[in-house]
Amino acid sequence: MSRNCTSALLLAAAAATATLMAAAPSQAAPGCQLVIESGADQWMMRYEPFDQDVAVQEFDVAVVNQGDGPCTAVSRVELRGEQFGLVNEAGAQRMAYALVDERGGADVTPRAGQSARRIGVRPLNLAAGERGLMRFSFTAAPAETLSAGLYSQNAFINLETPDGRPLAEKPVTLSLQVPSAAVMGLKGEFRRNGGTPTIDLGELTQGVRQLRTTLYVLSTAGYTVSVASQNQGRLRQGASEWYVPYGLVLGDRDMDLSRGGRVDVVSRRARLDDYPLTISVGSTTAKRAGDYSDILTFTVAAL
């Protein structure tokens, strides 16, 4: 990756060499008849953007020599006019990938429209009537979060002699499926207590307070964020029946903590959204002194 004064005798010799080469064009061995028997027409991978850095999968192509003489073949990949790179239905920026012929570890990625011919690549040698298997690895490593959808490219797997004479070909569609997915987290001021993020409100006073904590959501498409309050929108002193009511604003959305709040985001593209947290504390008059708390549970789901 995927991931260019001489003597008269010398001139005459060069001309003779050129004539000799023209008289003997490259050709397959007599009796070689290579046929691609089987192999998937679509090389499909699934990529989980929040669980994987790289998607890689191997695909096999079965070939047979139906002739009465030996065959020696190497692989090349062509695009035939299509720009290199996987692209989705929306026609977004193309994504690079890599193809490797695992027989000899040869990179056959068609970055320039076709893979380069490489000297010293281990060929496939088949005697008359013999079958063989070629294995290719297909790799994609997106550099950014992708929108959900199918990314694909049409290509042609060519088998040819080491000097470039075509023997057989197979069209394939290279595809990467990105599912709808979403993850979330907190950033800013908070600490972890037993693995649970905890925000210290300090001295409890009535009024609106913007916290220095933000909920963020990273998604490949639309999503839903829901929030539930253990005490239905009330800060509680320990296990007592003393409560202080409060409200929560997620970004610019008021959450109904008494029944559960929800934010729906409809989108067909990848997103990174921030939701600063703001609370409004109710009256603390005539409340018992002590520590008050509530547990909020945030849930994100892809649409």
Model confidence pLDDT, tens digit, residues 163-175? 899 999 999 999 9
Same domain, 150 and 272: no
In a shared domain, residues 219 and 119: no
Q: Are residues 168 and 244 in the same domain?
A: no
Q: What is the pLDDT of residues 102-147, one digit of tens each?
A: 987 899 999 999 887 776 678 999 999 999 999 999 999 998 899 9
Give, rounded to a whole angstrom, the gap between the first and last alpha carbons of the chain: 36
- Calculated CA dihedral for residues 153, 158, 163, 165, nearest 10 degrees: -120
- Residues 195 and 143 placed together within one structural domain of the fold: no
With 90 as the cut, is the pLDDT of residue 279 above it? Answer: yes
User: The domain containing residue 68 runs over which residues?
Assistant: 26-178
Q: Above 60 in pLDDT, residue 18?
A: no
Q: In this structure, is residue 49 part of a structural domain?
A: yes
- Residue 285 placed within a domain: yes
Quote the CA–CA distance of 62 and 72 in Å, as a whole number: 15
CATH code at 84? Answer: 2.60.40.2040
Distance between CA atoms of 223 and 303, rounded to whole angstroms?
5
What string of H, E and C letters represents the secondary structure of the chain?
CCCCCCCHHHHHHHHHHHHHHHCCCCCCCCCCCEEEEECCCEEEEECCCCCCCCEEEEEEEEEEECCCCCEEEEEEEECCCCCCCEECCCCCCCECCEEEECCCCEECCCCCCECCCCCCCCCEEECCCCEEEEEEEEEECCCCCCCCEEEEEEEEEEEECCCCCEEEEEEEEEEEEECCCEEEEEEECCEEECCEEECCCCCCCCEEEEEEEEEEEEECCCEEEEEEECCCCEEEECCCCCEEEEEEEECCEEECCCCCEEEEECCCCCEEEEEEEEEEECCCCCCCCCCEECCEEEEEEEC
In this structure, the answer to whether residues 189 and 281 fall within a common structural domain is: yes
pTM of the model: 0.79
Q: What is the mean pLDDT of residues 46-67?
A: 95
- Say if residue 138 is in the same domain as residue 112: yes
Q: What is the mean pLDDT of residues 186-213?
A: 96
Residue 119 lies in a domain: yes
Average pLDDT over the chain, rounded to an integer: 88
Q: Are 144 and 183 contacting, i.e. CB atoms less than 8 angstroms apart? A: no
Does residue 222 sit in the same domain as residue 146? no
**CA dihedral over 80, 84, 88, 89, signed as positive or negative:** negative
Position 266 scores a pLDDT of 97
- End-of-domain residue from the set 143, 161, 178: 178
Residue 5: per-residue pLDDT? 27
Instruction: Kindly indicate the confidence band of residue 29, based on its pLDDT and cuts at 50, 70 and 90.
Output: low
**Domain boundary pick from 130, 148, 178:** 178
pLDDT score, position 92: 72
In total, how many domains does the chain have?
2
Task: Give yes or no for residue 93 having a pLDDT over 50.
Answer: yes
185 token code pair: 């987290």
Do residues 7 and 21 touch, judged by C-beta distance below 8 A? no
CA separation for the pair 87, 176 (Å, rounded)? 9
Residue 17 predicted with pLDDT over 90: no
What is the per-residue pLDDT across 224-246, written as a single tens digit (0 to 9) for each?
Answer: 999 999 999 999 999 999 999 99
The pLDDT of residue 122? 86
Q: Residue 303: pLDDT above 60?
A: yes
Same domain, 211 and 262: yes
Give the per-residue pLDDT at 119.
66
**Which of 119, 154, 178 corresponds to the end of one domain?**
178
| pLDDT score of 54 | 95
